Amino acid sequence: DAKTTQPPSMDCAEGRAANLPCNHSTISGNEYVYWYRQIHSQGPQYIIHGLKNNETNEMASLIITEDRKSSTLILPHATLRDTAVYYCIVRVAREAAGNKLTFGGGTRVLVKP
């Protein structure tokens, strides 16, 4: 079974880039990597997703290694409002059995002034 691991916590200085790693060493060909974040007392919020290529949107960048065994979410200029728990999720498409989701335990990011 796929396994997704994340560091439990990290601090980041306001205005600096925050690099959040995710290890998904059992990933294979057709698995997407998704990132969501959850600010205290709210539902999770979509950030970005990717399959093989690096992706960028207005919120963040996603860097996926060539072997796809790990990825890094980059928040280019962290603000205090980026303080949240960040989840890395791998979605596996299975032919007959539908999609399987494997959740990382989440990284609690604290952005400090």
Partner 1 sequence: KAGVTQTPRYLIKTRGQQVTLSCSPISGHRSVSWYQQTPGQGLQFLFEYFSETQRNKGNFPGRFSGRQFSNSRSEMNVSTLELGDSALYLCASSLQGLLREQYFGPGTRLTVT
- Choice from 106, 107, 109, 111 touching partner 1 (CB under 8 A): 106
- Residue 27: CB minimum distance to partner 1, A: 15
Q: How far is the CB of 42 from partner 1 (least distance, A)?
A: 7
Among 21, 55, 91, 108, binds partner 1 (CB under 8 A): 91
Three-state DSSP at 98 gives strand
| Maximum pairwise Cα distance, the chain | 49
For position 43 contacting partner 1 by CB under 8 A, the verdict is yes
State yes or no: residue 44 binds partner 1 (CB under 8 A): yes
Q: Give per-residue burial for 69-90: e unless 16+ CB within 10 Å, then b.
A: ebbbbbbeebeeebbbbbbbbb
* 103 binds partner 1, rule: CB under 8 A: yes
The pair of structure tokens assigned to 88 is 């890395």
